[in-house]
Structure 1
Amino acid sequence: MAFYQLSDGAELFYEDKGEGKPLVFIHGVWMSSRFFHKQVSYFEKKFRVITLDLRGHGASAKTNAGHTVAQYARDLRDLVRHLDLQDVTLVGWSMGAFVIWEYLHQFGDKGVLSTVIVDELASDFKWPDFEIGAFDLAALTSMMQGLQHDQKGLLRGFLPLMFKKDVSEEHLCWMLEETMKVPASIASAILFDQSIIDCRPYLNSIQCPTLLCFGREEKLIPVAAGEHLKKSIANSQLEIFEQSCHCPFLEEPEKFNRLIESFLTSLKVVNKNS
């Protein structure tokens, strides 16, 4: 466990385990690196695994400013350079996908071997020419108001929607604990920004190999979002997880982990056990 001081003085929490080609896991809005515990224990035996808490999330600094996807991408870039990562695979879940696309848009793909995108749309907003978006203005406004009036209640209702099957009280409790670490003011700010960002103009410029992982259950994100990304990103492949909703890495972790490992093997990634 470590903290890295960003250029504006904010401290970013991260963990760096294992040896070999680097995998960086980037969580979704309000979540944290803890959601990837089933990936860390698997991949650290063969790869260098980095997880981080984006600013305002988890154990990272709760700054008053900087809660945009664009800034989160700059924070990620700072950490990548600090750790001197080369041939990195960026794994982005939900909002983490936006962070990756913004990273590539700002800095290009030099040093990026590949990306893995987990259950996200090119934009969460229902634009007039993007009907598959997750939120319209009324839904976004309602969620932001809910965060201000009863953050815990909103999260208790939202978190089970990420899963196809019922969530036990034990699992709901640890997820609530993690997501409640984000102050309501920050939770509202980043929800707004990540919900209206539109990455469609960036997608056709992505050249690095991309694995798209989507859950069949459509409580939050439609499978059509993955099909749209496959058409938009040239060197991409789409995999559907039949027993998952928004969290295939938790719902079908063995399949998810094996799939990423197979994807990296197809790119001839050499790890320390090869």
Structure 2
Amino acid sequence: MAKEYLESKYVEVTPSVELHYWEQGAGKPLVFIPGLTFSGEIFKAQIAHFSKAYRVIAIDPRGQGFSSKTADGNDYLTHGRDLHGLMTALDLHDAVLIGWSTGNLDAWSYVQQFGKDKLRGIVTIDMSPLPMSPDPTCWTEGSIEELSEVASQILSVPSGPRDFFSGYTTDIMIQRDVPAEELSYILDMSCRTPYWICKALFCDAMFCNFLETAQDLGANFPSLMFIAEHWADVAKPFVEEKLPGYDHHVMGGHLMFYEYPDTWNAVLEGFLDKL
């Protein structure tokens, strides 16, 4: 029987480094991984829904939410190792990894380093495994000039992440008008990550290349990719050409699971039912 309350917990994944996570329910595990600066709290609608049939775990990656803030390890190879530490400590098997945005990089990093033996599926939400490329046909996070400006100018000051995610939330992440109180809630969650960690993770993310890992998953493993509507004209052909075998679904903005939880949850349920 699923638990009726949401538990806030910590697990040591390497000496002196704890990951915070939210947990609810019982059964086969679903592990939700948020994007840059965010907490697993952003998945609260999914935790409430899927914990009726699954053991739902939503993590705060290193440097984010209530997890340890460290001077080193703010990169996605380390995030993959941290995820392995959590999976090992919690004795998770037959898990489905569900990453959002840079949380996809955590998931691909884990698979690249530790394989698929503890998994039964992977779900990635709205980010390419090749975030930066000079090839204009690739699905990337932006041009090299745009990404350079974010990294070297915007995120280099304490107010930078709040300024960046304020515009990103209203222009890219959520399609409807965002009330001031809701925007404040989202930004306060994001700003639990210090600006210098945000910059380090952003820079590392842009230079990640998990294309081969993602291609292997699409060809040999149950894989689902959600794509936001605003760049479907580039992302959908990229996934169809470079990631054959992925189920893919286009909907909403970058935070589609937050803005349209019922529709999004139904798509995920359909994928899980086939595993």
Q: Same-fold call, TM > 0.5?
A: yes
- Structure 1 residue runs without a partner (length 5+): 268-274
C-alpha offsets along residues 58-85 of structure 1, whole Å, 9 cap, x if unaligned? 1111111101111001000110111111
Deviation of 1:235 (Å): 3.4
CA distance in 1, matches of 2:94, 2:88: 12
Q: 2:186 is aligned with what amino acid? A: M
In percent, how many aligned pairs have the same letter?
28
1:115 alignment partner, SS class: strand
Contact 1:164/1:217 (8 A) holds in 2: no
Q: Which residue of 2 is the match for residue 158 of structure 1?
A: 168
Q: Which residue of 2 is the match for residue 55 of structure 1?
A: 62
Judged with a 3 Å threshold, the aligned counterparts in structure 2 of structure 1 residues 205 and 132 are, in CA distance, closer, same or farther, namely closer
Which of 95, 108, 111 aligns to 2:115? It is 108
Deviation of 1:108 (Å): 1.0
Q: Please, what TM-score do these two structures have when normalized by structure 1?
A: 0.90
CA distance in 1, matches of 2:12, 2:82: 10
Which of 232, 242, 246 aligns to 1:236? It is 246
* Greater relative contact order structure (CA < 8 Å, 6+ sep): 1
Q: Which residue of 2 is the match for residue 188 of structure 1?
A: 199
CA distance in 1, matches of 2:233, 2:89: 36
Q: 1:235 is aligned with what amino acid? A: G
After TM superposition, list the pairs within 5 Å mapping 1:86-165 onto structure 2.
86-128=93-135, 131-144=138-151, 145-149=153-157, 150-151=159-160, 152-160=162-170, 161-165=172-176
Which of 208, 222, 226 aligns to 1:209? It is 222
- Structure 2 residue runs without a partner (length 5+): 1-7
Q: Is residue 2:28 matched to residue 1:21? A: yes
C-alpha offsets along residues 157-194 of structure 1, whole Å, 9 cap, x if unaligned? 22222122221212101111011111111010000001
Deviation of 1:198 (Å): 1.4
Contact 2:134/2:144 (8 A) holds in 1: no
Q: Which residue of 2 is the match for residue 74 of structure 1?
A: 81
Deviation of 1:226 (Å): 3.9
CA distance in 2, matches of 1:129, 1:110: 36
Q: Which residue of 2 is the match for residue 171 of structure 1?
A: 182
Q: Which residue of 2 is the match for residue 271 of structure 1?
A: none
CA distance in 2, matches of 1:29, 1:192: 11
Q: 1:246 is aligned with what amino acid? A: H
CA distance in 2, matches of 1:196, 1:128: 14
CA distance in 1, matches of 2:119, 2:44: 23
Q: Which moved more, 1:61-70 or 1:1-10?
A: 1-10
CA distance in 2, matches of 1:227, 1:22: 31
CA root-mean-square deviation:
1.6
CA distance in 2, matches of 1:51, 1:131: 30
Contact 1:90/1:112 (8 A) holds in 2: yes
Judged with a 3 Å threshold, the aligned counterparts in structure 2 of structure 1 residues 224 and 137 are, in CA distance, closer, same or farther, namely closer
1:6 alignment partner, SS class: strand
Judged with a 3 Å threshold, the aligned counterparts in structure 2 of structure 1 residues 231 and 138 are, in CA distance, closer, same or farther, namely closer
Q: Is residue 2:266 matched to residue 1:255? A: no
Which of 221, 225, 246 aligns to 2:235? It is 225
CA distance in 2, matches of 1:128, 1:233: 16
C-alpha offsets along residues 105-157 of structure 1, whole Å, 9 cap, x if unaligned? 11111111001111111211133475432233322232122122332222222
